Amino acid sequence: MFFASAAPSTLFMGFLLVLPTIFFSCTLVSALPFSELVYPNFTGSYLQFIDTSGVFLLSRNRTYKASICNPDAQQINFYLCVIHVASNIMIWSANRDHPFSEAGKVYLTSKGITIANETGNEVWSALPTHSSVNALLLSDMGNLVLVNQANVSLWESFHYPTDTIVIGQQLPVGTSLSGAVSASDLSTSDYQLGLTSSDARLQWHGQTYWKLSMDTRAYTVSGFMVEFMVVNGTGLYLLGHNGSVVVQVVLASADFRIAKLDASGQFTVNSFSNGKWNQEFVGPSDSCRLPFVCDRIGQCSANSASKTPDCSCPSNFHPSSPSSNTCVPFDGSFSLFSACNSSNNGSQVNSSAASYLTIGYGHDYFSNDFSERLEYGVNLSVCQEVCSGDCSCFGVFYENSSGSCYKIENKLGSIISSTSSENDLLGYIKVVAAPSTNFDGNNNSGDQSQEFPLVALILLPSAACCVLIAIGLVWLRRRRISKFGEVKLGHPSSPSSEELDAFRIPGLPRRFDYKELEVATDNFKTLIGSGGFGAVYKGTLPDKTVVAVKKITNLGIQGKRDFCTEIAVIGNIHHVNLVKLKGFCAQGSVRLLVYEYMNRGSLDRILFGTGPVLEWQERLNIALGTARGLAYLHRGCEHKIIHCDIKPENILLHDHFPAKISDFGLSKLLNPEQSSLFTTMRGTRGYLAPEWLTSSAITEKTDVYSFGMVLLELVSGRKNCLLRTQSHSLEDDSTASHASSSSGSGLIYFPLFALEMHEQGKYLELADPRLENRVTSQEVEGMTRVALCCVHEEPSLRPNMATVVGMLEGRIPFCQPRVESLNFLRFYGRRFTEASMIGEQNRSNNAILYSEANVLLTSTAGGSHRSFSYMSSQQVSGPR
């Protein structure tokens, strides 16, 4: 590959540039304009600089050279390029799509640079308009710059990147890198790395095949909009406003590093040191995930023995010629669909005449994980009809179990062969009737049918052999898994869950073996928590990392692909205030999630427990951390996540890390029946907003409400619903509020009390008495006002989480609670105290919470418009 051949570099670099000229170099260096500058009326050609292999500029630090170069010494295509001296790697070329011959010339005039071929025709130019050029400069960074008299830059090669960026260069949002066709042909290939305001992604003919944020090595640090991409001595970064880091890939420190879109279509980061290239990052790492690695419809399977994958044709197709990778229908009466607007005299415009050839099970397509599914819950004929009516559709992938339909768009690429033939995804290629005979003589279906017997003779025996082997493997796998599932785990193994292994979703976090986690948790010995999704155990991995292993129970069987997709999404949500998913295990019917371990446990134990009291500043930090984590979850466009279950139990603390939110995204794993109580919707994915009790939609403002309730608990240090008056200074302070917010049972509904104290301006009454005098009225006022705004009945009156963060940080003034949208607390406080009297026979918290939920249900059934927004955070989590 490109880098391999670039490895050996000259010993005398910086002094001698080119080995063949070694004997002449002393004179040449002084004779030729080897400075960082050339001035107008400079003319150069390859022939003129042949003794220096075309070099005519050398940056002052001697790191980069500009030359008229001839990549791979093919002697045909010449380019104006910038090259890193030590590694000899080209980092930029001017005329990549318009090479010139060795007789072509580069001119620098006061107008700018022009390049003309041997006949004098201009093939490329850089002509800044607003000022005249004084010099062409090669900067120490490798930037070729046209400057005016005042040394002001008029034009820079850094603004016109080709396939590479170097340290010191920025790739702005909206621009892209394009791969070169090969190491010797620099022309623009079909692969592009584009930068969007949230991600860097690779595309081929408009179809995405990789995203940086989904790579396991990319860490999302903040939710700012991306402004540009850089590579520097410590890694690869997507940066936002004022250079704030949005996504980072941290790498070993290096002096010279480039990010490059390779001719293969892979995005790589490579460093160069001690004369050697070191590939540090590559995406996608699986070369079968490259759109055209096996040509059109070629079926790609990884070859463990060699780095290059194997290519073959799927069933119903065969190579168009013995030497070709391109596959065509086996049945000569069909030919591949080509786009409606193609030049072939419109014969294929009528795409309703399309039929479909299946390529069989066990395949996937590179864009399936990145494109919207076309339809959901439809039958195959509907899926194919949609494709038939679409000129840009070249075929479909259909998942029978979920009725999902995915489209092959714009251009037909290679097919990925799944390691297991058990997935439920069936690919169909759109074909049309072949022209009946080749009267016009310009099509090759004739010789294809002649080749048929020969190809068949070669292919059939080997195909039969493969089929036999495949059947054997499948049978072995089945036996192994079902034994494991039934005997070891004590769970019946359902065939559909085995198929999980069939999916290779990019960005999936680490997959653990059940056995591994059994050992890590010492056979699930140390229970550290339990929630609606199942029990959580402490574990230690072989590398001594302590983890929390969540054993998910009662998970409905849903599409395997959906399960893995969700895991990939959750696993790729990285934020300092969100508990990181380290991996998962899905074997038989077992589902385990492996999380980072938070050594102080959940907020409820620390806030409501009997241990040392949480100081105000810590409470503020926890509030801020939680708010930032939530703001991050709500921010996303593509994967907006509504937590739906914000409560102190889901806020985890650590001695050395900020507070983190756990359990986000999990409700997506529930099946529809289970999620009727707690539904997370996927904001932009076309899922209808689920409703809760009334017609009000669940939005991210639902989380804001729950967060407000948590804030109130942080202020008081007690559960909102269970404050006992005798443990509070309230008793002496008998006022009207006492009567209205608490009942004879000694229970108080704290949110109502907070509203009343807010109205009276007596904020210190609200503070946790254990804080004594260590908190000021202003501090309590701030947090209380934010909390009350968050619990406004009308969701649209609640601030969004980004605003809450701003208020807690002190950047935005505290909001003014709107009493008219808080009056419901008075009603609710009354119902609460009534309910708690009912609940008094049973002192358990749960009983009271359940009866609270009953209040709600009853009032809803009674026709009053009690909305979901009445729910406290405890209620949302109550029945779990």
Ligand X SMILES: *[C@@H]1O[C@H](CO)[C@@H](O)[C@H](O)[C@H]1NC(C)=O
Catalytic residues: 645
CB of residue 150 vs ligand X: minimum separation in angstroms?
Answer: 6
Place of tokens 């570099």: 9
Question: Around Cβ 552, how many Cβ atoms within 10 Å?
Answer: 19
Tell me which residues touch ligand X (CB under 6 A).
40-41, 150-151, 232-234, 237, 239, 243, 245, 379, 381-382, 400
Q: Which helix (H) or strand (E) holds 596?
A: strand 590-596
Q: Which helix (H) or strand (E) holds 385?
A: helix 380-388
Please name which of 537, 484, 536, 487 lies closest in space to residue 514, comparing C-alpha atoms: 484
Identify which of residues 233 and 446 has a Cβ nearer to ligand X in the complex.
Answer: 233
CB of residue 109 vs ligand X: minimum separation in angstroms?
Answer: 7
CB of residue 47 vs ligand X: minimum separation in angstroms?
Answer: 22
Q: Give CA–CA dist 634/286, Å, rounded.
A: 31
Cβ distance 88 to 2 under 8 Å? no
Q: Give CA–CA dist 314/299, Å, rounded.
A: 6
DSSP string across 519-543: HHTTTTT-EEEEETTEEEEEEE-TT
Report which residue's Cβ sits closest to ligand X.
Answer: 233
Q: CA 107 → CA 34, 83, 575, distances in Å?
A: 17, 19, 52
CB of residue 149 vs ligand X: minimum separation in angstroms?
Answer: 7
* Phi, psi at 211, each rounded to 5°: -130, 135
Asked if residue 762 belongs to a known ligand binding site, the reply is: no
Helix 801-809 to helix 700-716 angle, to the nearest 10 degrees?
A: 30
Local structure of residue 519 (DSSP, 8 states):
H
Q: Give the pairing type, strands 219-220 and 245-250.
A: antiparallel
Which H, E and C letters describe 673-686, residue by residue?
Answer: CHHHCCCCCECCCC
Structure token pair of residue 282: 């590559």
Identify which of residues 234 and 273 has a Cβ nearer to ligand X in the complex.
Answer: 234
Cα-to-chain-centroid distance, residue 294:
26
CB of residue 230 vs ligand X: minimum separation in angstroms?
Answer: 6
Q: Which helix (H) or strand (E) holds 301?
A: strand 299-301
Identify which of residues 148 and 860 has a Cβ nearer to ligand X in the complex.
Answer: 148
Cβ distance 316 to 393 under 8 Å? no
CB of residue 242 vs ligand X: minimum separation in angstroms?
Answer: 10
Angle among Cα 448, 454, 458 to the nearest 5 degrees reads 120
Identify which of residues 43 and 437 has a Cβ nearer to ligand X in the complex.
Answer: 43
Cα-to-chain-centroid distance, residue 876:
29
Identify which of residues 381 and 554 has a Cβ nearer to ligand X in the complex.
Answer: 381
Q: Give CA–CA dist 103/45, Å, rounded.
A: 6
Identify which of residues 251 and 627 has a Cβ nearer to ligand X in the complex.
Answer: 251
Amino acid at residue number 149: Q
Please name which of 348, 321, 345, 324 lies closest in space to residue 334, comparing C-alpha atoms: 348
CB of residue 169 vs ligand X: minimum separation in angstroms?
Answer: 13
Identify which of residues 41 and 306 has a Cβ nearer to ligand X in the complex.
Answer: 41
Structure token pair of residue 540: 């230690």
Q: Give the pairing type, strands 228-232 and 235-239.
A: antiparallel
Find all residues with CB under 8 Å of 178, minimum gap 6, and list them.
162, 163, 188, 189, 191, 192, 193, 261
CB of residue 233 vs ligand X: minimum separation in angstroms?
Answer: 3
Q: Is the Cα torsion angle 390, 392, 397, 401 positive or negative in sign?
A: negative
Which H, E and C letters describe 618-668, residue by residue?
Answer: HHHHHHHHHHHHHHHHHHCCCCCECCCCCCHHHEEECCCCCCEECCCCHHH
Q: Give CA–CA dist 137/304, Å, rounded.
A: 48
Q: Which residues pair with 318 in a beta bridge?
A: 328
Local structure of residue 271 (DSSP, 8 states):
E
Annotated binding site for ATP: 551
Annotated binding-site residues read: 551
